[in-house]
């Protein structure tokens, strides 16, 4: 699982309030509306992977609070400012990490555009092969841009950039370039996901670290039968995957391929999800670069891996969701267990 070791910038409350006040005072003097939003995400994720050569046994638990305020004008434009603060359960600190939120949003269907530091929820639709469960727990924001064209009945297409680390003498330069899309045709759905992650060395001339590239592609075709059979969700997708990895200082491209078959069933408060992968081993350079280079679930590097999730929503509404899940992981010729409890609340005007 992914747990970042990056140091997050600490912003004082007076500085944050000054920035927010400046944004509000400098907003256009026409047809404005004050808007606000508060998000809370509490997570408990217990991983039992004793005996695995790939994944670590660990428990991740904490709560994130993300208040933002802003202005909306013309019904299409918004500016927001706030922060996303983390407190880990059992920590002696009030705040273990904080990430600033400040972005501009243009939303006029079918187009949507965001620029700045904004929520990673825009990428929640990506499979775990690309982003592990714990990414939202420890990297809740994107620093960059997101553009999307969407028609609810027909699908969507988007491109995005996430600049995850600025180069200094002690920090690597790192960023994502990504894209995804879906096209619906009756009960058929065609999907594509992709990204390229670039990890460059620090600016320290004495640190001889090669540049790494990590790309991942998935194209799939599936069936969506939820509406016809009266389920909340009933879909299955079979896809072809291709990874593109290299160490520019020594190796040529490493390009493992595979098949990914995912099925999701949800009815009222109950849900079932299964993910099956068979193919080449991913994340070749993980022993060298770890989570600096890879953000996907480590178990997909096993070559043969199946994950089964059984979940129940105790509370399920637009404002609040409390979900308990039990996961079985079949990999390395063994069965591993995982228990997760998530509580999320999102309210606002």
Give the pLDDT of residue 7: 41
Residue 328: HSE in the Cβ half-sphere, 13 Å Cα cutoff: 9
In-domain check, residue 296: yes
In-domain check, residue 13: no
In-domain check, residue 9: no
Domain with residue 325: its CATH number is 2.40.160.10
Report the C-alpha gap between 10 and 151 in whole angstroms: 39
What is this structure's pTM? 0.87
Number of domain units in the chain: 1
In-domain check, residue 41: yes
By residue range, what is the domain housing residue 100? 19-348
In-domain check, residue 192: yes
Q: Do residues 210 and 250 touch, judged by C-beta distance below 8 A?
A: yes
Summarize pLDDT for 228-287 with one digit per residue, the tens: 999 999 999 999 999 999 998 787 899 999 999 999 999 999 999 999 999 999 999 999
In-domain check, residue 14: no
| Better-predicted residue by pLDDT, 170 or 105 | 105
Summarize pLDDT for 172-188 with one digit per residue, the tens: 889 999 999 999 999 99
Give the pLDDT of residue 241: 98
Give the pLDDT of residue 25: 56
pLDDT at 205 over 90: no
Q: Do residues 39 and 346 touch, judged by C-beta distance below 8 A?
A: yes
Report the C-alpha gap between 168 and 65 in whole angstroms: 29
Report the C-alpha gap between 111 and 159 in whole angstroms: 12
In-domain check, residue 7: no
Report the C-alpha gap between 82 and 19 in whole angstroms: 9
In-domain check, residue 239: yes
């Amino acid at each position: 699982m992914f747990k970042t070791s990056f140091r997050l910038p600490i912003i004082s409350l007076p500085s944050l309030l000054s920035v927010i006040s400046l944004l509000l005072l400098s907003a256009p003097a026409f047809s404005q509306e004050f808007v606000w939003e508060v998000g809370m995400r509490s997570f408990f994720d217990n991983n039992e992977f004793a005996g695995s050569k790939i994944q670590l046994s660990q428990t991740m638990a904490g709560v994130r609070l993300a208040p933002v305020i802003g202005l909306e004008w013309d019904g299409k434009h918004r500016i927001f400012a706030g922060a996303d603060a983390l407190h880990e359960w059992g920590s002696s600190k009030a705040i273990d990490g904080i990430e600033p939120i400040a972005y501009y949003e243009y939303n006029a269907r079918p187009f949507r555009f965001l620029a700045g530091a904004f929520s990673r929820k825009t990428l929640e639709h990506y499979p775990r092969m690309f982003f592990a469960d714990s990414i939202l727990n420890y990297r809740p924001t994107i620093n960059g841009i997101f553009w999307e064209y969407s028609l609810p009945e027909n699908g969507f297409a988007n491109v995005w950039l996430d600049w995850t680390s600025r180069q200094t003498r002690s920090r690597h330069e790192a960023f994502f370039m990504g894209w995804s899309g879906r096209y619906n045709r009756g009960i058929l759905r065609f999907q594509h996901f992709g990204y390229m992650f670039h990890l460059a060395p620090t600016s320290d001339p004495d640190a001889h670290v090669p540049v790494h590239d990590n790309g991942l592609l998935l194209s799939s075709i599936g069936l969506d039968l939820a509406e016809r059979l009266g389920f909340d969700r009933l879909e299955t997708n079979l896809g072809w995957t291709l990874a593109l990895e290299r160490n520019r200082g020594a190796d040529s491209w490493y390009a493992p391929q595979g098949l990914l078959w995912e099925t999701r069933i949800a009815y009222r408060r109950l849900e079932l999800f299964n993910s099956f992968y068979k193919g080449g081993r991913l994340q070749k350079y993980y022993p060298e670069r770890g989570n600096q280079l890879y953000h996907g679930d480590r178990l997909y590097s096993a070559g043969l891996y199946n994950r089964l999730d059984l979940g129940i929503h105790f509370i399920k509404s637009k404002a609040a969701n409390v979900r308990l899940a039990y996961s079985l992981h079949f990999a390395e010729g063994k069965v591993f267990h995982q228990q997760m409890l998530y509580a999320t609340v999102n309210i606002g005007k």
